[in-house]
Amino acid sequence: MEPIRVLAINPGSTSTKIGVFDNEKPILVEMLRHNADEIAQFKDLFDQYPFRKQVILDTLDHEGINLNRLDAVVARGGLLRPIPGGTYQVNDNMIEDLRSGKYGVHASNLGAIIAREIAGQLNIPSYIVDPVVVDELQPVARLSGIPQIERRSIFHALNQKAVARRVAKKLGTTYEQGRFIVVHMGGGITIGAHEYGQVIDVNNGLNGDGPFSPERSGTLPVGDLVSLCFSGKYLLGDIMQLIVGRGGLVGYLGTNDARDVEEMIENGDKKATLVYEAMAYQVAKEVGSASTVLYGNVDAIILTGGLAYGESFIRMIRERVDWIAPVHIFPGENELQALAEGALRVIRGEEEAKTYPPLEKGVEIIHG
């Protein structure tokens, strides 16, 4: 019996990652880089999709991949309305929202249209899996403390759910039967409380709350932040840059690369030592907070993302949290693999593909 063959597509701002998988096994993984001049010729983001699609097709042809062997095409989901996690079939409603940019403009918005165009020519299905807008927060987790602001779910949904599924399998259970705390540590850091297949609480790792990260501030003392805003020294854009881009390690140490920080520490830099420990301390504190969301019933704590390669950083977190539950380490993030696995679950009948619905009049979001 021939394996199920899936093409996975992950568009970024200056590159498009693609992978071809026979079942879970990658047979081709490529990073297709696009130089600034190639991108600059397009006025709008969506104008890029025929160009990117052709680059993908040319690469597959060059590598001898027979398109007629594909069973599905899957892409990273873009900025859509908040939706529950899962694998979604690409449809007109989704394309309309991605094309309009009404929920944000990002290169990942191109994934669904490229996937559908390639799949449509082959008469096979196209999907997206667990986009960053996945929202499964329980009602009590949405309240912030003032009625004008609601806590939002913005996190590394694709990688968090993928590694939780892998650990569940390792433990002889399923994602839908387990309780996990998943910590994704990259440019931003998100800590999700996963209960029976739903992320019922998670910090907004973009510009909301949680630990500080390589380039983001995380939670700040709100009174002091307000004073800073009205000090007359900063414009709105300046403050937002302090929160996203120039916060965290960048603000304290001038770099967003943890490897640079570790080198500083090896050279005896006491400030770097303190800042690095503080970042690990804040991650551990957030893990402890997430454990209370699950009433202390935690099957595993999972540390993933680029920072999980740092042995000293992992050690500082582990020694504070391993009393809660066993700690599992999955360095890096394999988004192409996670996309392929999402499509495979649907093709094998392990779960049903979800439908992205039209926006109901007067309704702005869909909560899980």
Q: Does residue 368 register a pLDDT over 50?
A: no
Structural tokens at position 21: 């998988």
Q: Does residue 365 register a pLDDT over 70?
A: no
Residue 211 is predicted with a pLDDT of 97
Q: Does residue 88 register a pLDDT over 50?
A: yes
Q: Does residue 363 register a pLDDT over 70?
A: no
Stretch 71-97: mean pLDDT: 96
Q: Which domains does the chain have, with CATH numbers?
A: 5-131+336-355 (3.30.420.40), 157-332 (3.30.420.40)
User: Helix 49-62 crosses helix 110-122 at what angle (to 10 degrees)?
Assistant: 50
Residue 364 is predicted with a pLDDT of 52
Dump pLDDT digits (tens) for 219-260. 999 999 999 999 999 999 999 999 998 999 999 999 999 999
Structural tokens at position 199: 């992320």
The span from the CA of 222 to the CA of 55, in Å, is 47
Q: Does residue 268 register a pLDDT over 70?
A: yes
DSSP string of 22-86, one letter each residue: ETTEEEEEEEEE--HHHHHT-SSGGGGHHHHHHHHHHHHHHTT--GGG--EEEEE--S-S-B-SS
Contacts of 103 (CB under 8 A, 6+ apart): 79, 80, 81, 97, 133
Dump pLDDT digits (tens) for 166-184. 999 999 999 999 999 999 9
Higher pLDDT, 207 or 48: 48
Dump pLDDT digits (tens) for 123-180. 999 999 999 899 999 999 999 999 999 999 989 999 999 999 999 999 999 999 999 9
Q: Does residue 366 register a pLDDT over 70?
A: no
Q: Does residue 279 register a pLDDT over 70?
A: yes
The span from the CA of 154 to the CA of 245, in Å, is 17
pTM comes to 0.90
**Tokens 């196209």, residue?**
126
Stretch 75-85: mean pLDDT: 94
Least confident of 9-18, 55-64, 340-349: 9-18
Are 328 and 308 in contact by the 8 Å Cβ rule? The answer is no
Higher pLDDT, 84 or 41: 84
Are 301 and 321 in contact by the 8 Å Cβ rule? The answer is yes
Three-state DSSP class for residue 356: coil
- For residue 170, the surrounding DSSP H or E stretch is helix 157-170
The Cβ-side half-sphere exposure at 333, using a 13 Å CA radius, reads 21
Query: Mean of the per-residue pLDDT values for the chain?
Result: 94
Residue 35 is predicted with a pLDDT of 82
CA torsion, points 364, 365, 366, 368, in degrees to nearest 10? Answer: -160
Stretch 265-285: mean pLDDT: 98
The span from the CA of 216 to the CA of 200, in Å, is 23
Higher pLDDT, 358 or 170: 170
Ranges of H-type helices in 171-269: 222-229, 236-243, 248-253, 258-266
